[in-house]
């Protein structure tokens, strides 16, 4: 084939991708236009062993908003990764809960969709959680991994209300220690992160499930963890804040008691999670441990 024809085909393929939409469940987060922008250096956390986990580019109103690694067996996210947006932290007004049609179907334009009135459960309940899974549960609430208080644009905030971005959290934990942690991080990044802050929030599980109609439906996290990376921060920040940059992590039990949020280094969190999750020895949340890339052009870098 003539080179000019190949270029025309590539250009047309790119146009189709941008204008007609692409599947949200992807082989790689880099396969979707702008999806990798939610990841530090465009690189997702590495080292996850389970090949059955689904990579979701969370797309709302024809725009990628953040990414999620999703466990269809337990019907919960393993993690959601997003960029923090400076915000006043006010609570949502009213956004509808949504589902991910691409987990169950191959059609559609790649956007998450609101649960339709009188929807047919069987169409997608095998691949993901549905509203009924949470409706009669007293102990648990829908806990966001990418919280709406960490987003400012109304559409970015609306996009956090998909069940592929939430896990069952004990009510006392969700409205207490973890909400306080999310607010503490919001204020810290608002005040002292000068550039883009990349956040990854996820869970560990031990096999406990929410049951519905005598069937295991949704995995219940044992712990919730989170980490951020901000390489461009205020070097004149108070010492107690400055030492929490460029990275910091947090870990807490998803429990009614003993649920204090512990802050720790990202490396310590990674060591801990290596023994709690199905990951290999190369497990890493942020590319190059969130070390700021060299400002030197590549041709001036020293190489052996």
Q: How many helices (H) and strands (E) does the chain have?
A: 7, 14
Is 90 exceeded by the pLDDT of residue 12? no
pTM: predicted TM-score of the whole model, two decimal places = 0.87
Whether residue 18 is predicted with pLDDT greater than 70 in this model: the reply is: no
Nearest to 197 by CA among 248, 252, 263: 248
The number of distinct structural domains making up the chain is 1
Instruction: Answer whether residue 17 is part of any domain.
Output: no
* Residue with tokens 């987060």, as numbered in its chain: 29
Least confident window among 36-40, 114-118, 283-287: 114-118
**Each residue of 34-86: pLDDT tens digit?**
789 999 999 999 999 998 999 999 999 999 999 999 999 999 999 999 999 99
State yes or no: pLDDT of 11 exceeds 80.
Answer: no
Is the pLDDT score of 192 beyond 80?
A: yes
pLDDT averaged over every residue in the chain = 86
- Residue 2, in any domain of the structure: no
Segment 120-148, tens digit of pLDDT: 555 688 889 999 999 888 899 999 999 99
Q: What is the pLDDT of residue 91?
A: 67
Return the sign of the alpha-carbon dihedral for residues 260, 184, 160, 36. Answer: negative
Instruction: Give the per-residue pLDDT at 24.
Output: 55
| Amino acid 28: pLDDT | 73
- Residues 142-163: what's their mean pLDDT? 96
Residue 159 falls inside a structural domain: yes
CA-nearest of 165, 159, 182 to 89 is: 182
In-domain check, residue 117: yes
Q: Label the pairing between strands 247-253 and 215-229.
A: antiparallel
pLDDT the model gives residue 125:
85
**CB neighbour list of residue 174: distance below 8 Å, 6 or more residues apart:** 141, 143
Residue ranges with strand state E in 14-120: 25-26, 46-48, 54-60, 63-71, 76-84, 98-99, 113-114
Residue 228 domain flag: yes
pLDDT at 179: 96
What is the longest distance spanned by two Cα atoms in the chain? Answer: 68
Q: What percent of the chain has pLDDT over 70?
A: 83
Helix (H, G, I), strand (E, B) or coil at 197: strand
**222 belongs to a structural domain:** yes
How many Å from the N-terminal Cα to the C-terminal Cα in the chain? Answer: 40
Domain-embedded: residue 298: no
- Indicate which CATH number applies to the domain containing 42: 3.40.570.10
Query: What angle (nearest 5°) sits at the alpha carbon of residue 17, between those of residues 14 and 21?
Result: 165
Q: Which whole number is the average pLDDT over 149-162?
A: 95
Sign of the Cα pseudo-torsion (240, 273, 45, 162, in order): negative
Do the domain assignments include residue 181? yes
Radius of gyration of the chain (CA): 20
Tell me the residue range of the domain where 224 lies: 25-291
* SS3 state of residue 216: strand
Q: Which residues contact 50 (CB under 8 A, 6 or more apart)?
A: 71, 278
8 A C-beta contact, residue 251 and residue 225: yes
Residue 108 — pLDDT band, cuts 50, 70, 90?
low
Report the pLDDT averaged over residues 251-280. 97
């Amino acid at each position: 084939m003539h080179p000019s024809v190949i270029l025309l085909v590539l250009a047309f393929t790119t146009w189709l991708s941008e204008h007609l939409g692409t599947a949200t469940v992807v082989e790689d987060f880099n396969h979707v236009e702008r999806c990798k922008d939610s990841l530090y250096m465009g690189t997702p956390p590495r080292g996850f062993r389970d090949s059955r986990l689904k990579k979701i580019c969370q797309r709302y109103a024809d725009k990628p908003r953040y990414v999620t690694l999703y466990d269809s067996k337990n019907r919960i996210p393993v993690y959601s990764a997003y960029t923090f947006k400076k915000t006043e932290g006010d609570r949502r007004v009213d956004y509808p809960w949504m589902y991910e049609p691409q987990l169950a179907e191959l059609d559609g334009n790649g956007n998450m969709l609101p649960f339709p009135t009188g929807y047919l459960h069987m169409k997608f309940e095998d691949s993901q959680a549905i509203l009924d899974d949470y409706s009669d549960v007293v102990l648990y609430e829908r806990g966001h991994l990418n919280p709406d208080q960490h987003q400012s644009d109304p559409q970015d905030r609306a996009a956090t209300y998909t069940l592929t971005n939430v896990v069952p959290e004990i009510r006392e934990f969700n409205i207490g220690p973890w909400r306080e942690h999310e607010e503490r991080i919001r204020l810290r990044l608002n005040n002292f992160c000068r550039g883009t802050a990349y956040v990854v929030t996820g869970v560990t599980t031990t096999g406990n499930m929410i049951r519905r109609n005598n069937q295991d439906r949704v995995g219940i996290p044992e712990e919730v963890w989170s980490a951020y990376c901000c390489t461009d921060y205020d070097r004149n920040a108070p010492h107690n804040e400055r030492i929490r940059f460029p990275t910091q992590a947090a870990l807490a039990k998803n429990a009614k008691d003993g649920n204090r949020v512990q802050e720790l280094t990202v490396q310590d969190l990674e060591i801990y999670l290596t023994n709690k999750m199905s990951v290999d020895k190369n497990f890493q949340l942020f590319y190059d441990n969130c070390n700021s890339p060299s400002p030197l052009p590549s041709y001036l870098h020293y190489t052996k």
